[in-house]
């Protein structure tokens, strides 16, 4: 057994367990000075973390329907991330106290002074917002429960009835996932700018969540198997799928920008103006490089995809790019004059990220499944 002091997993758990609570306390202290910045930072990080269990749900549903060795290699980190869904939803509680700070439609004085908000208040009203969020949260929790309940069938292929139920749940789960994630994306992110509308944003959000969860699982799998002689063909398959996610997200993001740029209508460009005509464009360039160009070039190499260490490092870089994307979705709304990084941004990453990672490594709420055969089929030997 590896000594505790040299066990990297134990070290990560202890470090995250210290950094997380410390970051949360510092973020709370900053909130007294600048509530808007603190809530905006919290929303960015929470939205990034929410993508990990929800994206894992989507990837697990796809693998339940299609099968393949690639899914077995990353199934354990995906199931662990999915089991973190209740914790991630609980982390949204502070945001409910900041709705009037974050959203113009939650401030009655601005609603009464804005004809646009008055036309949308039937939908963008705090009570209805809460109802939709409760429905989405409930659907996600129910789907996660049934996916974990019938996942045992994958370790026992002879149980055909449960296997069929798992496939049926996965097929329905993808439909419910697409619908609820679209609603959540409109409510939590798009409504930060009520004038803006995009029919692509919901689909782009779902693909981005799947990309983030897949990259997270690949990074975990690569770190687990870095010192083992695994079949490089499995990692090549993971690299091919990662390339597919990267290209799909990029296509949707470019399509959304191209359509809005071509239309040149106030309802569309109001969201892009602060992001492309101020210093925020440097973050957009960083996303083009690290979220598309560099991963695209590396993943074209067969040798890179078959090397678990290279693929793991690339997946970690994509995960960081997903975090930058979450920041890019929220922060320019509150700093439209140009790129600004606040202390609250760093504390939110350290606080929420540290707490989430510590619970993930520890196993979360039953995150490390000890069902017979689960660890063996996932290739876990820790």
> pLDDT of 26-59, one tens digit each?
999 999 999 999 999 999 999 999 999 999 999 9
**Dihedral sign for Cα atoms in the order 21, 27, 30, 31:** negative
Please check the confidence at residue 341 and state whether its pLDDT lies above 90: yes
pLDDT for position 294: 97
- In angstroms, the CA 256 to CA 268 distance is 10
pLDDT band, residue 367 (cuts 50/70/90): very low
Overall average pLDDT of the 98-123 stretch:
92
Residue predicted with more confidence, 151 or 155: 151
Kindly report whether the global pTM for this prediction surpasses the value 0.75: yes
**In a 3-state reduction of DSSP, which class is residue 218?**
helix
- In angstroms, the CA 95 to CA 43 distance is 7
For helices 281-288 and 266-276, what crossing angle results, to 10°?
90
The rounded percent of the chain whose pLDDT value lies above 90 is: 74
Which of 220, 224, 155 has the alpha carbon at shortest distance from 382?
A: 224
Q: How far is CA 65 from CA 5, 51, 165, 170, 178, in A?
A: 42, 21, 11, 7, 16
Which of 203, 202, 168 has the alpha carbon at shortest distance from 188?
A: 202
Please check the confidence at residue 223 and state whether its pLDDT lies above 90: no
Overall average pLDDT of the 130-150 stretch:
94
pLDDT mean across residues, the chain: 89
Ranges of each domain in the chain: 90-340
Q: How far is CA 353 from CA 15, 23, 48, 125, in A?
A: 11, 9, 9, 30
- In angstroms, the CA 114 to CA 125 distance is 14
Please check the confidence at residue 374 and state whether its pLDDT lies above 60: no
């Amino acid at each position: 057994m590896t000594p505790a002091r040299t066990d990297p997993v134990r070290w990560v758990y202890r470090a995250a367990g210290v950094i997380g609570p410390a970051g949360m306390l510092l973020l709370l202290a900053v909130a007294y000075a600048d509530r808007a910045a603190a809530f905006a930072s919290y929303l960015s990080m929470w939205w990034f973390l929410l993508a990990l269990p929800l994206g894992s749900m989507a990837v697990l549903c796809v693998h339940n329907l299609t099968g393949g060795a690639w899914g077995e290699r990353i199934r354990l980190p995906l199931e662990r991330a999915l089991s973190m869904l209740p914790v991630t939803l609980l982390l949204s509680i502070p945001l409910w106290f900041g709705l009037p700070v974050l959203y113009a439609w939650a401030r009655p004085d601005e609603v009464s002074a804005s004809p646009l908000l008055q036309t949308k208040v039937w939908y963008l009203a705090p009570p209805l917002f809460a109802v939709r969020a409760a429905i989405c949260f409930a659907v996600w929790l129910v789907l996660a429960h049934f996916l974990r309940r019938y996942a045992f069938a994958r370790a026992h292929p002879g149980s055909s009835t449960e296997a069929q139920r798992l496939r049926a749940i996965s097929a329905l789960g993808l439909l419910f996932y697409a619908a609820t994630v679209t609603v959540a994306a409109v409510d939590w992110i798009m409504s930060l700018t009520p004038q803006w509308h995009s029919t692509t944003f919901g689909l782009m959000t779902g693909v981005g969540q799947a990309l983030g969860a897949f990259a997270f699982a690949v990074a975990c799998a690569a770190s687990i198997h870095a010192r083992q002689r695994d079949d490089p063909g499995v990692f090549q398959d993971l690299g091919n799928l990662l390339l597919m996610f990267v290209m799909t997200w990029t296509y949707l993001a470019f399509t959304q920008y191209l359509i809005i740029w071509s239309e040149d209508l106030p309802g569309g460009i109001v969201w892009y103006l602060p992001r492309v005509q101020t210093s925020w464009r440097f973050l957009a360039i960083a996303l083009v490089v690290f979220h598309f160009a560099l991963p695209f070039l590396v993943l074209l190499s067969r040798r890179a995809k078959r090397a678990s260490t290279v693929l793991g490092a690339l997946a970690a870089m994509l995960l960081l790019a997903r975090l930058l994307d979450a920041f890019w979705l929220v922060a320019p709304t509150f700093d439209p004059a140009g790129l600004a990084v606040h202390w609250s941004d760093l504390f939110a990453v350290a606080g929420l990220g540290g707490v989430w990672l510590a619970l993930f490594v520890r196993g979360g709420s039953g995150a490390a499944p000890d069902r017979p055969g689960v660890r063996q089929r996932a290739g876990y030997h820790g």
